Structure 1
């Protein structure tokens, strides 16, 4: 990130090579339109290029910072187009090329747990999705969701309790 902040194009290319593939997978889980996903990834890396000097490693991993930018860009794209986020359909050939993490997350989203998560209120679902499925810290989820850290913790606790009830 330091090299990107110093406006080294090669560093941005390397950052893109490392992070664009997993961003594409995660964004595609929230939006079935590949053009919107592509636009979001492009917007994300333009923002990273412009704001790399604002990245603070003491507040979290670069990947989490990039993900926060990407998810906000996706939400903005969806608001502009008026589209509803929908998970992309995955075929068997795509599953073969996925990492183990991606296969597990697809199972979570499309299995019994996915159905239970869909039953949560939007606030609880967003907290669980940000912290558990997306792997953000409570601090990062707090910034992403625009609520205090304590609220994120409470929502995650409530969501887990409700999920246990749904799956019992």
Structure 2
């Protein structure tokens, strides 16, 4: 057991980066209840949440060297590691549970189906998003590509929540205009 009952954030980070076992025990003891609550909200199953929690702390232990205090607090970093681990678990479970068996579709079922032929230049969504104004582009990236909530983006970028939502709405309107051109590209067989 740890001989010290509390650490400053700087002390804790320094000890964690030097792979101090007592510091990791302290981190687990003091942060695991909050992380478990977040994980459980995402995966919605206690057994899966326990597995994800173990995976998250393993990732924290292996990647603590990449923590950068200039980008946020230690808690924010470990919270993002735990949250991303939970989201990865959901994606994996969804992918393995929802495997399509294409050989079970008969030719008769395919007749009359619409076929979408996108313009090759528009296949890469990120390149389309790059065309947006910078203040809209970063929000779309954070929310849709990195999985942040509007509230998290608001807090992390110190922008009012209403501004975040209105900029995202405007960006989506611009993206709809880009894709409305492609609606003419749908061919019906």
Interval of TM-score (by shorter of Structure 1 and Structure 2): 0.5 to 0.7
How far apart are the structure 2 equivalents of 1:53 and 1:160?
34
The yes-or-no answer on 1:54 pairing with 2:66 is: yes
**Unmatched 5+ stretches in structure 1:** 84-121, 140-149, 162-168
**1:81 — aligned with what?**
93
1:16: how far off? 0.8
Higher relative contact order (CA closer than 8 Å, sequence separation 6+):
1
| Residue of structure 2 aligned with 1:20, choices 32, 46, 51 | 32
Equivalent residue, structure 2, for 1:137: 156
Deviations 1:112-160 (A, max 9, x none): xxxxxxxxxx85x94324346xxx5139xxxxxxxxxx9xx88723289
Q: Distance in 2 between matches of 1:72 and 1:45?
A: 12
User: 2:41, 2:167 → 1: CA distance?
Assistant: 20
From 133, 147, 150, the equivalent of 1:128 is 150
TM-score by length of 1: 0.54
Distance in 2, matches of 1:45 and 1:16, equals: 8
Unaligned runs of 5+ in 2: 1-12, 96-142, 170-189
For these two proteins, the number of residue pairs brought into alignment is: 108
Q: Please list, as runs of the form range in 1=range in 2, the aligned pairs for 1:144-159 lying within 5 A after superposition.
A: 156-158=164-166
- For residue 16 of structure 2, give the secondary structure of its aligned residue in structure 1: helix
Q: Distance in 2 between matches of 1:30 and 1:79?
A: 11
The structure that has the greater radius of gyration is 2
| TM-score normalised according to structure 2 size | 0.48
Structure 1 pair 129/38, CA: closer, same or farther in 2 (3 Å)?
Answer: farther
The answer for the alignment partner of 1:2 in structure 2 is: 14
CA RMSD of aligned residues (A): 3.3
